[in-house]
Amino acid sequence: MSRKGFFTVLVIITLALLVISPFIGAVDIGVAELFSGQLSDTNRFIFWQLRVPRVLSAFISGAILAVGGMVFQSLFKNELATPFTLGVSAGASFGAAAFIIFGGSTALADLNYGGILAAMLGALLSVVLVYILAAARRLTPVGMLLGGVMVNFLFSSLVMFLQYISDFSESFSMLRWMMGSVSVSGYGEVVVLVLLAAFGLVVIFRYSRELDLMFLGDEVAGSRGVETLAVRRNLFVFTSLMVAVVVALSGPIGFVGLIVPHIVRHFTGLRHMLIMPAAVLAGGALLVLADTAARTLIAPAEIPVGVITALLGAPVFLFILWRGRGSLSSTW
């Protein structure tokens, strides 16, 4: 498929999902009912205050996670590098788990503000630790990856410790949060995500040329005037913080930032000014699709969206691995 054809199909699929998904759910809401003005107050609230914000939240979160994965894979020239493998997710999970135990609340509904702040602080702490560890090795890709892996193990161990000393209700709340959810009520969180995405994507897009050159190697990039240490530091910190906000709001939703960049590169090539819009559309569409499945497959109950993304992402990633005959480098 040509690039033009790929983007055309991607835009059509994305728009279709954004339009159709709010009508799908445990409560049947038809298009004719919506536009005829015959919606009951309950159904109107469900559609406009629950489903539409949830779909928008899923799309924006998926877009940010996909772009974050793109940046990290390009910065470190490693197909498995994402903000999640570098400790952001584990740090946020530790913050949320600590709030559940020491914040005096075990109800998921009460985690909206205190839990989000705690998760954000945990993610920030992980970023600082990775940066300190990597700075000792002059922010080399290997140094940052090793530091991220160690920080990830550290916070994962702390989360397990907190689960061990928690009671049943606290342990359940931790587990449920770490499975991920884009469920929102109203548009407050959506506005936060929109502003974050708009600002973040503009900043990252301005680094498209630097990412293209750094993919060829630090020596090549340096010869073209790129300050590789500064670019790697700035993008690492900024992208991690951007993803940390999503993790704090929605929990750690895996695989989106891992598989989406792999898939879109097959169609766009390696120019980041093409990869980035494709990752925004594909990542957002993937998470909208996963969330729609999560809230309808066993309705009226819901499956955590992180479970769906893992079920979708693992086979795709194994297929990519198989196509590479044991080497992921063939996807670049």
More confident residue, 274 or 168: 274
| Residue 275 reports pLDDT greater than 70 | yes
pLDDT given at position 326: 42
Is the pLDDT at 185 greater than 90, yes or no? Answer: no
Helix, strand or coil for residue 211? helix
Give CB contacts under 8 A, 24+ apart, made by 207-213: 207/231, 207/234, 207/235, 207/272, 208/271, 208/272, 208/273, 208/276, 211/71, 211/74, 211/75, 211/235, 211/272, 212/270, 212/271, 212/272
Q: How confident is the model at residue 104 (pLDDT cuts 50, 70, 90)?
A: low
End-to-end CA distance of the chain: 17
Distance separating alpha carbons of residues 227 and 232, to the nearest angstrom: 9
Structural domain containing residue 162:
3-331
> Residues 198-226: pLDDT tens digits?
999 999 999 999 999 987 878 888 899 99
* C-alpha distance from residue 283 to each of 59, 66, 171, 274 (Å): 7, 5, 30, 14
What pLDDT, on a 0 to 100 scale, did the predictor assign at position 324?
60
Query: Averaged over 101-109, what is the pLDDT?
Result: 60
Q: What mean pLDDT is reported for the chain?
A: 87
pLDDT in tens, 53-68: 999 999 999 999 999 9
Count structural domains, the chain.
Answer: 1
Residue 13 has pLDDT above 80, yes or no: yes
User: Angle of helix 141-165 relative to helix 228-250, nearest 10 degrees?
Assistant: 20
CA-based nearest residue to 127, from 75, 92, 78, 93: 92
The pTM of the full predicted model, rounded to 2 decimals, is 0.91
Q: How far apart are CA 30 and CA 260, in angstroms?
A: 32
